[in-house]
Structure 1
């Protein structure tokens, strides 16, 4: 496997995860968090590829398979799922 491609996957995965974590930590709102999870998905995909293509790195690959599932739940819950309308409490 081309070492330049492996390096690109590894460093993109790390940088994208860091950016996504920063966006989530800033708590800028539902849509921002949703897009942060989209970035997390791309990070997981890159690190899955890197983990299974790089010798002796399958652990990172499997970890990111699990993280990909979690990140897809984040995309669904923040960007796709329709939330029920807020119930008016009818306060005074």
Structure 2
């Protein structure tokens, strides 16, 4: 197994775990940390997409998802919760 293969499997596993945490709605902090995990997943899949053969589409998709996930990190970990 090559480093590029490991990027693919890490990206997939991290994405699944992060999605599970977000779906459980465990609160702001766990959701924020799930978005951090999504960010690492996107970075791994961007690298895999552009380093591996025939996976450029996944690389481009994850470039967009990286921005979306960074917004999630900001909203849940950096920004204060809006008053209710």
* TM-score calculated relative to the size of structure 2: 0.95
**Alignment deviations for residues 38-76 of structure 1 (CA, whole Å, 9 cap, x no partner):** 000000000000000001110000000000000000000
- Give the alignment partner of residue 44 of structure 2, picking from 43, 46, 49: 46
Q: Does 1:36 align with 2:34?
A: yes
CA–CA separation in structure 2 for the residues paired with 1:29 and 1:84: 14
In the TM superposition, what is the alpha-carbon distance from 1:35 to its structure 2 partner?
A: 0.3
Provide the aligned length of Structure 1 versus Structure 2. Answer: 84
- Residues 1-92 of structure 1: matches in 2 within 5 Å? 4-86=2-84
**Root mean square deviation, CA, Å:** 1.0
Compute the displacement of 1:82 (Å).
1.9
| Larger Cα-atom Rg | 1
The TM-score, its normalising length taken from structure 1, stands at 0.87
Deviation at 1:83? 2.9
Distance 2:25 2:82 in 1: 21
Q: Secondary structure at the match of 1:28?
A: coil
Q: Which has the higher helix share?
A: 2
Q: C-alpha distance in 2, partners of 1:48/1:64?
A: 6
